[in-house]
Amino acid sequence: MSLIITIPTFDGVVVAMDSLSIVGQVREKKSKIQRLNSRIAWCGIGELAVVQRVASSLAAFQENNQSLRELAPVIGNIIKSTVKDLLNLDFRTEIYINNVNAISQLHRGDFVFVEWVGASAQILYVNIYGSPVWIQDQPFFIGAGDMFVGHNFQKFKGLNLNLASASIIGYRLVEEAIDSQMFGLGAPVDVWQVSNAGPNQLLETEIKNLEETVKAIRSHEIAVFEKHLALSISH
């Protein structure tokens, strides 16, 4: 399992994830966010077989400059067909043939696609049924610890965020989910910015700067708390 965070701002969209991949007993650190084409970034969580097969099919669109709105129906069909193919190969399908709920749990996957068009965030969520859902003008969190992240994001709600400030928040939210031992999450934190320039993965040096900024903010919060605690005790 993993965690996807998307935060729209007035100049683009921030996408943040953890970078831990687990296959059996093998733990690997790698970016799970990818470019669909020069305009769109995407990421998937869930069963690795599902995500890998979808990634293989989406690779055909790397030279395609269509918008996310244009590609949404195609993406939905790719994901739906991928799950159908896996179900056809899975012997358990025959066992659960009359149990729709059980079959739907055999091969799990959730996918998020992000594009920035002019001054508008285009965030698309697609589940294993292939049904596109557009996320309108709000952050979107899905995966391990999504409710935890949603609660923690409330303190930033209403702020006029830009890509720089949202990157700090995205980094912090993923880091806190990892530190809270959410299942399947692991460092390092991966942060991308999607703007008029297209999808851009932050460099290691930029991620390090985010880490130092988050540390400084936490230290300041502790200092403010200690100050108010000392004042309350003295009174």
pTM: 0.93
Q: Report the alpha-carbon distance of residue 175 to residue 211 in Å, rounded.
A: 9
Find the largest Cα–Cα distance for the chain: 71
Rounded mean pLDDT, 220-233? 86
Model confidence over 110-161: pLDDT tens digits?
Answer: 999 999 998 899 999 999 999 999 999 899 999 999 999 999 999 998 899 9
3-202 falls under which CATH superfamily? Aminohydrolase, N-terminal nucleophile (Ntn) domain (3.60.20.10)
pLDDT-derived band of residue 230, with 50, 70 and 90 as boundaries?
Answer: confident
Phi, psi torsion values for 23, nearest 5 degrees: -125, 105
Token pair recorded at residue 186: 């692991």
